[in-house]
Structures are given as C-alpha cells and as structure tokens.
Amino acid sequence: MDCPFCAMPAEQMVLENEHAKAFFDKYPVQKGHLLIVPKRHIANYFEATEKEILAIHRLLQEGKGRLDQEFAPDGYNIGVNVGLYGGQTVMHLHVHLIPRYKGDVADPRGGIRKAIPNLVPYPPEEKERNHADLYAHRKRKNGVDLRAGSYCLR
C-alpha cells in the first residue's frame, strides 16, 4: 500500500489517540492547517466506525485548542472531501482543520460554499440577516426554539 498518511513518520504527528492522528498539512491552505486521519486505512468518512469518528472529533477539539494557542486564528473551516469528484486526492479519510484569519479573503461569507465558485453567490449589497430569523417558524421535535443562538447554523 502506498499511502502517505499510513506511512507518516511518528515524529511528524502533532496529536494522537487510540484511533486517530493529526499532523500539519504538507500543502497548507493557511498557517496551522491540520489534517486529522484515522489510523486504520479507510477511503472516506462513510467507512469510518463510530469509534473512529469520535476519535477524529476529539482530535479536532484538541487541534483547535493547540492552534488557538499557537496561531490565534479568527475562525475555522472544517472539511472532508469524499471521492474524486468531491475533491479527495488522497484516498485515506482525512479531515481538514483550517484556521482562518481576518482579512485572508475579501469576503469570507459562505465559507465552504465557495468550494464550487459562483454556484451559490451572495449578492454584494445584501443586508445582513440573522440566520435564525429565516427559520423562526420552525421548532425542533423536542420543542427547542431554533431562534436561540446556540441552535443556529452559521
């Protein structure tokens, strides 16, 4: 097997747990760009076990803490590419933790939506709207009001 993630030298690991490991991306999008991968060689997210997903999630949290201390980013993108047409270039599941910095792009609105340019454009002069207002009429099955900030997707 010729997998760069399986063959990654131990000294390049930044974080590790029983089922996953993290290291800095060889071709970083931003300074501090981390990759989190399962130790078991699997092609994509949908092949991962619950234990592997939890291990990856824990390293995402730990990685964010480390990046906050070392680089003090202003935001983050978390991404997973699945399959050739989803943008995956190394066929070993890997999750990108990409620090974002104020001013790194002219208009950060939309974040990962810009993976397919101009597919979902934002009008340049659109008034800022609270995402929660778009869903004010909806409630979760458990009765939680989606207008509460902690339940809004941003």
Average predicted confidence (pLDDT) for the chain: 83
**Strands of the 75-80 sheet, one edge to the other:** 15-16, 20-24, 34-38, 95-100, 75-80
Residue 147 pLDDT > 70, yes or no? no
What one-character-per-residue DSSP string does the chain give? ---TTTT--GGG-SEE-SSEEEEE-SS-SSTT-EEEEESS--SSGGG--HHHHHHHHHHHHHHHHHHHHHH--SEEEEEE--SGGGT--SSS--EEEEEE-TTSSS--TTGGGGGSTTSSPPPTTPPP--HHHHTTT-B-TT--BTTSGGG---
Per-residue pLDDT at 132: 47
Per-residue pLDDT tens for 44-81?
999 999 999 999 999 999 999 999 999 999 999 999 99
Residue 92 falls in the annotated catalytic set:
no
pLDDT band at 149; cut points 50, 70, 90: very low
Residue 102 pLDDT > 80, yes or no? yes
CA pair distance 60, 65, nearest whole angstrom: 9
Contact predicate 146/152, CB 8 Å: yes
Residue 83 pLDDT > 60, yes or no? yes
Per-residue pLDDT tens for 26-47?
999 999 999 999 999 999 999 9
Catalytic-labelled residue, pool 19, 92, 94, 96: 94
Q: Which domains does the chain have, with CATH numbers?
A: 10-116 (3.30.428.10)
14 contacts: CB under 8 Å, gap ≥ 6: 22, 23, 24, 34, 63, 66
127-139 mean pLDDT: 47
